Amino acid sequence: MSTPTGAGPIPPPTETPADELAVASSVPESQGRLIWRRFVGNKVAVVSVIILLLIILFSFSAIGLGPIPGWWKYGYKALNPQENGGNPTLSVLPQFLGGNGISLGEHPFGQDRIGKDYFAMTMRGIQNSALVMVVLGLIATVVGVFVGAIAGYYRGTVDAVLMRITDVFIVIPALVIGSVVGHWFGSLGAPVLAIMLGFFSWMGIARLVRGEFLSLREREFVEAARVAGASDMRIIFKHILPNAMGVVIVSATLIMASAILLETALSYLGYGIRSPDVSLGLLISSNQSAFQTRPWLFWWPGAFIVSLALLVNFVGDGLRDAFDPRHRRFKLSKMRETRPEPELEDRP
């Protein structure tokens, strides 16, 4: 990637995209730095990461976590007297434009029918979504990487058996297996639900990692490591896996995006997080009949589900571009260099 081009002035960094800069610069860079630069050069992805972290941080700081209190005065379970007919008191229009100034008011997101503070409930929903996203993503990734790595490295019978097991899991649509798992474990709280769902979401990543390992295990550096006497486990985890990290990280991000949608969908169906705990999907499901009278009960959770999933998808897309510039926006005139090799299978 970073072929030294010898003489020639280095172009000013503000005018060239990150990957072209890398080609033009004469200093060899490590793969990690290149990827980092490409990712940072993608404004959408960077902004998405920042907003995503801010939202999650905001939700945790607002109502705290477990025994630790947050800065917001109401809890998500407490019943409060109805004020202002339960209408949201949030105002963002400054006074000189005819609004009430920027203030949160008593119940910024309004109150639900029995007087619970909707701001606190929405924040709790975001916490749970974030928790499920991270835990499910981590477990699915770890299991998937392990299965895929073993199958791809050892090939033969081990591969056949592991891949048939993967097929067994993959036959059942995610929402169906999720419903069954949620029906069973949903009442035990969000962390347990996330862990259990994670054990049923690893199939896609396992297939991808296996494919990656099948091609990487034939490379010379693996041969070198084997000649040097490295054990199988060392080759798998120290030599091959770091080279397959791109696939792993990108698909882990995409799993996280679908985890948010899965959790909210399950909670909507009643198989996810149960009352009195709060999930964004559960909020929509329990308030959809009040849509005509109290539409804000519907809008806040809906907006946050979409923004969380959208932000994670943007991050995933940015990561994909950073790890695999081939996927990156390519121009028709440049296609000769960038086009992928056609997949030739079983040539006679």
Residue 270 region by backbone torsions, left for phi larger than 0, else alpha for psi between -120 and 50, else beta? left
Alpha-carbon distances, residue 68 vs 72, 169, 250, 321 (angstroms) = 12, 39, 34, 39
222-249 burial, b at 16+ Cβ within 10 Å, e below that, comes to beebeeeeeeeeebbeebbbebbebbbb
Residue selected from 230, 313, 324, 328 as contacting another protein according to rule CB under 8 A: 313
Convert residues 125-164 into a mask of x (bound to another protein by CB under 8 A) and - (unbound).
---------------------------------------x
Applying the rule CB under 8 A, the residues between 199 and 258 that interact with another protein are 257
Convert residues 175-204 into a mask of x (bound to another protein by CB under 8 A) and - (unbound).
xxx-xxx-xx--------------------
Closest contact distance (angstroms) between CB of 314 and another protein is 7
Q: 121 near 300, Cβ under 8 Å?
A: no
Nearer to another protein, 245 or 310 (CB): 310
Q: 74 near 109, Cβ under 8 Å?
A: no
Nearer to another protein, 46 or 245 (CB): 46
- 281 forms part of the interface with another protein (CB under 8 A): yes
DSSP state of 10: P
- 288 forms part of the interface with another protein (CB under 8 A): yes
- 285 forms part of the interface with another protein (CB under 8 A): yes
Query: What CA–CA distance (Å, rounded) separates 281 from 309?
Result: 13
Query: What CA–CA distance (Å, rounded) separates 218 from 228?
Result: 16
Where do runs of H (alpha helix) occur along 217-288? 220-227, 232-234, 245-269, 280-287
Query: What CA–CA distance (Å, rounded) separates 321 from 340?
Result: 15
Nearer to another protein, 68 or 332 (CB): 332
Q: Which of the stretches 73-81, 110-118, 132-140, 281-289 binds another protein when contact is defined by CB under 8 A?
A: 281-289
Residue selected from 7, 27, 97, 335 as contacting another protein according to rule CB under 8 A: 335
Residue selected from 132, 143, 174, 203 as contacting another protein according to rule CB under 8 A: 174
Binding site for another protein (CB under 8 A): 164, 167-169, 171-177, 179-181, 183-184, 257, 261, 264-265, 268-271, 281, 284-285, 288, 291-292, 298, 302, 305-306, 309-310, 312-314, 317, 329-330, 332, 335-336, 339-340, 342-346, 348
